């Protein structure tokens, strides 16, 4: 098995052997500036609102009114049999499985998600997620400047 010599992004000494500057502007770099962000350093959100389900997430790349981004990127995390209830939103979205597995139902059609499987969800398509018995993690993304501008419309009431 090949081992990487690249240290995690949060390791300040990782680049000491290289004669290059290290990004120090994450996670709120001005749009157009390069930056790095370590998901492990970000707070986990969600998991408490029954309208969403039990999903939790970490938002890695997200613009603000002062610092717009070209897209939104995050990681969704589910415990065993966790859920993201059926919903819609105007922008298209992608999922890329990281670990675990589950089912994403898009406009009534079930799609498997697991490590290495990518899903495209068209704008305004109804979709929801149910994690498998080992839980599920996937990255998600939108071609929107900030997460707060995305209006989630849930299909059912709780």
Per-residue pLDDT tens digits for 80-119 = 999 999 999 999 999 999 999 999 999 999 999 999 999 9
How far apart are alpha carbons 92 and 143 in whole angstroms?
8
Check residue 99 and give its pLDDT. Answer: 97
Q: Where are the beta strands (DSSP E) in 34-154?
A: 45-46, 56-61, 72-78, 83-88, 93-106, 109-114, 118-121, 127-142, 153-154
Within 10 angstroms of residue 92's Cβ, the number of other Cβ atoms is: 15
User: Could you tell me the fold of the domain covering 42-154?
Assistant: Jelly Rolls (2.60.120)
Entry pTM: 0.78
Peptide bond into 27 cis (omega under 30): yes
């Amino acid at each position: 098995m090949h081992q990487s010599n690249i240290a995690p992004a949060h390791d300040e000494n990782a680049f000491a052997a290289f004669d290059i500057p290290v990004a120090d502007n994450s996670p709120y770099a001005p749009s157009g500036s390069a930056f790095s962000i370590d998901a492990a350093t970000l707070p986990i959100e969600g998991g408490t609102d029954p309208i969403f389900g039990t999903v939790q997430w970490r938002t890695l790349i997200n613009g603000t009114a002062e610092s717009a981004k070209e897209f939104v990127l995050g990681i969704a995390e589910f415990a065993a049999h966790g859920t993201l209830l059926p919903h819609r939103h105007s922008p298209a979205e992608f999922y890329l499985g990281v670990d675990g597995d589950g089912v994403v139902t898009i406009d009534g059609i079930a799609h498997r998600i697991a490590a290495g499987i990518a899903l495209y969800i068209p704008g305004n398509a109804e979709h929801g997620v149910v994690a498998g018995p080992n839980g599920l993690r996937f990255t998600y993304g939108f071609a929107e400047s900030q997460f707060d501008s995305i209006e989630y419309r849930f299909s059912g009431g709780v």
